[in-house]
Amino acid sequence: MTDRAPHPQVPLRRPPRLAPGARVVIVAPSGPVPEERLEAGLDVLRGWDLDPVAAPHVLDRHPRFPYLAGTDADRAADLQRAWCDPSVAAVICARGGYGAQRVVDLLDWEAMRAAGPKVLVGFSDVTALHEAFATRLGLVTLHGPMAAGVDFLKNARAQDHLRATLFAPETARVIAGTPGGGALVPGRARGVLLGGCLSLLSADLGTPYARPSARGGLLCLEDVGEQPYRLDRSLTQLLRAGWLDGVRGVLLGSWEECGPYERVRDVLADRLGALGVPVAEEFGFGHGAGALTVPFGAAAELDADAGTLTLDEPALL
C-alpha cells in the first residue's frame, strides 16, 4: 500500500500536548471494561482539569465472546468517531486484553488521517493500534497507562508520568528505568522508539499494519502472562522473520506473570544478546506497577548502563 510510514529511523509527527479543559474520549477497542473502574478513571482525568467522555460502547459486552468489549463494528465506530471529532484532543484506551487486531481493518484510515494529529494512549493489546497508527498515520503515540487500568487508578508514579507527558512533555524528556535495572547488554544507542507487547508484535507480522522491520529503531518489549517458552517462541519468530535485523537497541519492560524473572532473563539474554546492540532491562514500562509512559515514534538515546532514555525532543508539541 502507498500510505506506509517510513522505516523506524525516521521520527514520526508529534501531536499537540493537552491543555486544561481539553476533551478526551475513552474507548474500549479490546476487552470488556468494569464500570466502577471506568468511573474511577474518569474521576482521575477530571481531577487533571480535563473533560473526559466515555464513548457510547465502552461498557458493552460482545453477545458471544466474553473477552471482547462489544462487537467489532461498535468498537471500531467508537474509535473512528472519537478520532474524527474536531473537539477531541486525545483518545485514551480503557484497557487492553484482546480485540484491537479485529478493529484495525474496520477503520477508515483516510478519514482519520484527514482529521489531523491528536494523542493516542494505551498499551498491551493496544500495541496493534500503535503499529497501525505509525504505519497509516505516521504519528507519535503514547505507550502508557489506560483509563480503567488498575495501575492508572492506584499508582501515583504511573499517573504523574503520564500527566507530565500529556501537559508538560519537556519535563519528561529523560525517562529513567526501574531502580535495580540496568544493562543486560551494555552500551549506548540512538534511534526511534517503537514496540510494545512482544506477543502482539509477533502476531502482527505479515499484516498490512506492521512495520516492515525494527531497523534503525530502539525497540521496547514487554509482556504479561506468557511463560518463558512462549516468550522464546515470539522472539524467535521475530528473529527468523528478519524483523530485528538492524535494530539499534532494546529496552525491556515488565514481565508480569511470565514465571521467575531469572528464567525470563535467560530467554531474553539468549535471544537478544546476539544482536550486538545495547539491551536495558527492567525499564519500568508495561504491565508492572508504576508503569512509565514511552512515546513511540520519537527519537531518543538509550544509555543501557545508566538505565536512562533521553528524548531528542518533548514527546508532544
Cell numbers at residue 268, please?
531474553
Identify whether 213 is a catalytic site residue.
Answer: no
As given in the structure block, the three cell numbers for residue 167 are 501537559
* Distance, CA of 16 to CA of 158 (rounded, Å): 21
Provide the 10 A C-beta neighbour count for residue 263.
15
222 in catalytic set: yes
Q: Write down the catalytic residue from 57, 161, 222, 226.
A: 222
Distance CA 256, CA 264 (A): 10
Task: Give the Cα separation of 50 and 197 in Å (integer).
Answer: 28
Q: For the chain, where are the E strands, in sequence order?
A: 23-27, 51-54, 88-93, 119-122, 141-143, 174-176, 182-185, 188-197, 217-224, 249-256, 279-281, 294-296, 299-303, 308-311
Respond yes or no: is residue 287 known to be catalytic: yes
- Locate 280 and state its grid cell: 536495558
Residue with cell 494512549: 121
Instruction: Say which of 30, 124, 199, 254 is annotated catalytic.
Output: 124
- In degrees and rounded to multiples of 5, residue 57 shows phi and psi of -110, 15
Q: What is the set of active-site residues?
A: 124, 222, 287
